[in-house]
């Protein structure tokens, strides 16, 4: 909230109220005019005190930790047209009339920024006497402020963003975003209270984010909830309210042990937000700012991603890859390249190597069948290979290998991709190992980039290490595809080459407060 522009010793109650003590060249040329003669109640508010005597000794006790309501009174003379003195009186009665919620009372004193208190009108009082014949009406205007604090009229707003791939962990600090006020470092905002009383911010968290926390001064407010795209959570640290989308209270979602915090006067305070957010695993190619590159991953991870989203990139360990923000420009669903990925009718397009491959209608993840590989017990590996001539690829392009695997014993299995050149000569294998529990369907998803001169590919569920005949491998919904392609542009040059990364959606938050005074 920004207050109206005021000159020294000007006052106004409400955003559209009548300006009191207007600094103009002569009131006669600008009637009606309210000449302020005295203002009370902008000094210290009344203290809420309780006293009692010591027993048996001199002196006593006094409890005076808090303030009570502030009453502000403006006394002055109203100058109006002698032929119409009542219209402005009606407006003042309306300005200072009863209301259900507090209104701002703005004022400006020399060498200070405009300030504001929030109160409810208690009436405009005046007598009708002989001065009315000269267009003059002495008035007393009163308001009572349930909130006793005085604030600077202008808000201090800090904005930050977060996007940890793991709930409860934020980004590494170090990417300076400028928002024209408080300093910002990724998921951290530094705010300063220039008043002489502690300030209580209002923090607003915008989804998507899981289990957000806002942390300051070693105290944390954590919430056990998920904010979807378009949701926001407004946390008022003075009123201690938590409201979803300005409609529904979510104070019951505060995690046990959470502590309310504030911003002390004259001290820069860092506010940090952490939480989980949408993640998208894939492969990207380095590019210059302003140009478009792509990141490829599976459709499930991409469901919540839309054009306009912003992302940071992390490596496979979760470490922030570079201090670069990406903006999503496009989203294209992938195309499955290998035929017969789910074995519902037969095993067309597939061959077994190092064992016996059959279609199994008793064990499957979805549909009515899966591919069952029984190792021969002597080969170095047992493989379920798609026919390489069925899948044409382009070198340097990322492809998504995914599917469901199950093994009769707990062990490491693989969902690999074999690459071949235009003459069908083997080039290399991209391996995707995963440890599975016995007789448990496990989803495997990896993005691989076709190597130089690659023209064909085969997706290959595999058991390695000279597997025993008992190490039976089942495969279902095995797909090699172009994946979901996200087109993006970075805001700064990338130094890295093609690599597997984790791209994490950015949830934003704002910290709003005012310099606060006694």
> Residue ranges of the domains in the chain?
10-152, 156-277+508-517, 281-332+489-501, 350-481
Average model confidence (pLDDT) across the chain: 83
Is pLDDT at 466 greater than 80 in this prediction? yes
Which is more confidently placed, 235 or 399?
235
**Model pLDDT, residue 308:** 64
Q: What percent of the chain has pLDDT over 90?
A: 57
Task: In whole angstroms, give the CA distance from residue 216 to residue 8.
Answer: 36
Of 77-86, 295-304, 382-391, the least confident: 295-304
CA atoms within 13 A on the CB side of 146: 8
Q: In CATH, what is the architecture of 350-481? A: Sandwich (2.60)
**Model pLDDT, residue 76:** 95
Q: In CATH, what is the architecture of 156-277+508-517? A: Sandwich (2.60)
Is pLDDT at 26 greater than 60 in this prediction? no
Is pLDDT at 467 greater than 90 in this prediction? yes
How confident is the model over 11-34, as a mean pLDDT? 80
The pLDDT-based confidence of 171 (bands split at 50, 70, 90) is: very low
Residues whose CB falls within 8 Å of the CB of residue 255, separated by 6 or more in sequence, listed in order? 222, 223, 224
Q: Which residues pair with 382 in a beta bridge?
A: 463
How confident is the model over 281-289, as a mean pLDDT? 55
Q: Do domains 10-152 and 156-277+508-517 have the same CATH topology?
A: no
What dihedral do alpha carbons 411, 412, 417, 423 form, nearest 10°? -80
The pLDDT-based confidence of 441 (bands split at 50, 70, 90) is: very high
Number of other residues whose CB lies within 10 A of the CB of residue 305: 21
Token look-up 């009163």 returns: 142
Are 450 and 400 in contact by the 8 Å Cβ rule? The answer is: no
Of 171-175, 218-222, 267-271, 433-437, the least confident: 171-175
Task: In whole angstroms, give the CA distance from residue 98 to residue 255.
Answer: 39
Which is more confidently placed, 293 or 370?
370
**Model pLDDT, residue 165:** 32
* Alpha-carbon torsion (84, 88, 91, 97), positive or negative: negative
The pLDDT-based confidence of 368 (bands split at 50, 70, 90) is: very high
Fold of 10-152: Elongation Factor Tu (Ef-tu); domain 3 (2.40.30)
Total-model pTM: 0.59
Joined together, the tokens standing for residue 57 give 């000794």
Is pLDDT at 73 greater than 90 in this prediction? yes
Is pLDDT at 30 greater than 80 in this prediction? no
Give the pLDDT confidence of 215-268 residue by residue, as tens digits.
Answer: 999 899 999 998 877 789 999 999 999 999 999 999 999 999 999 999 999 988
**Model pLDDT, residue 493:** 56
The pLDDT-based confidence of 278 (bands split at 50, 70, 90) is: low
């Amino acid at each position: 909230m920004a207050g109206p522009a005021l000159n020294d010793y000007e006052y106004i109650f409400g955003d559209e109220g009548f300006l009191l003590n207007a600094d103009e060249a002569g009131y006669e040329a600008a009637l009606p005019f309210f000449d302020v003669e005295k203002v009370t109640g902008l000094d210290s508010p009344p203290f809420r005190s309780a006293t009692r005597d010591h027993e048996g000794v001199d002196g006593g006790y006094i409890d005076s930790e808090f303030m009570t309501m502030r009453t502000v009174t403006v006394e002055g003379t109203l100058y109006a047209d002698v032929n119409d003195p009542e219209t402005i009186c009606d407006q003042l009665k309306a300005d200072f009339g009863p209301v259900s919620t507090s209104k701002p009372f703005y004022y400006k004193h020399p060498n200070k920024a405009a300030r504001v208190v929030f109160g409810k009108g208690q009436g405009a009082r005046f007598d009708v006497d002989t001065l009315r014949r000269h267009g003059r009406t002495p008035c007393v205007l009163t308001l009572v402020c349930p909130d006793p604090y005085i604030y600077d009229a202008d808000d201090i707003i800090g904005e930050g963003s977060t996007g940890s791939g793991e709930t409860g962990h934020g980004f590494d600090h170090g990417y300076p975003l400028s928002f024209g006020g408080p300093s910002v470092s990724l998921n951290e905002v530094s705010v300063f209270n220039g008043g002489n009383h502690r300030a209580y911010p209002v923090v607003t968290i915008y989804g998507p984010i899981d289990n957000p926390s806002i942390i300051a001064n070693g105290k944390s407010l954590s919430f056990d909830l998920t904010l979807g795209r378009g949701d926001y959570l407004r946390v008022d640290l003075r009123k201690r309210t938590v409201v979803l989308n300005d409609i529904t209270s979510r104070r019951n979602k505060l995690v046990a042990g959470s502590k309310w915090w504030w911003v002390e006067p004259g001290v820069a305070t860092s506010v940090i937000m952490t939480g989980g957010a949408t993640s998208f695993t894939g492969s990207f190619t380095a590019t210059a700012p302003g140009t478009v590159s792509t990141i490829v991953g599976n459709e499930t991870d991409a469901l919540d991603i839309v054009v306009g989203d912003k992302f940071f990139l992390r490596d496979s360990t979760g470490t922030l890859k570079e201090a670069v923000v990406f903006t999503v420009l496009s989203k294209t669903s992938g195309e499955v390249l290998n035929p017969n990925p789910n074995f519902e009718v037969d095993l067309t397009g597939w061959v077994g190597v190092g064992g016996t491959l059959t279609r199994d209608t008793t064990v499957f993840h979805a549909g009515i069948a899966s591919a069952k590989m029984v190792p021969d017990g002597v080969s170095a590996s047992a493989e379920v290979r798609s026919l390489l001539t069925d899948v044409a690829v382009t070198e340097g392009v990322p492809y998504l290998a995914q599917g469901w695997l199950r093994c009769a014993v707990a062990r490491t299995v693989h969902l690999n991709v074999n690459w071949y050149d235009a003459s069908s000569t083997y080039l290399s294998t991209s391996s995707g190992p995963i440890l599975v529990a016995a007789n448990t369907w496990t989803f495997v998803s990896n993005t691989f980039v076709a190597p130089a001169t690659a023209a064909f590919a085969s997706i290959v569920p595999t058991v390695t290490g000279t597997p025993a005949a008992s190490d039976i491998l089942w495969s279902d919904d095995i797909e090699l595809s172009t994946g979901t392609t996200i087109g993006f542009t970075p805001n700064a040059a990338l130094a890295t080459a093609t690599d597997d990364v984790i791209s994490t959606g950015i949830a934003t938050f704002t910290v709003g407060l005012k310099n606060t005074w006694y």
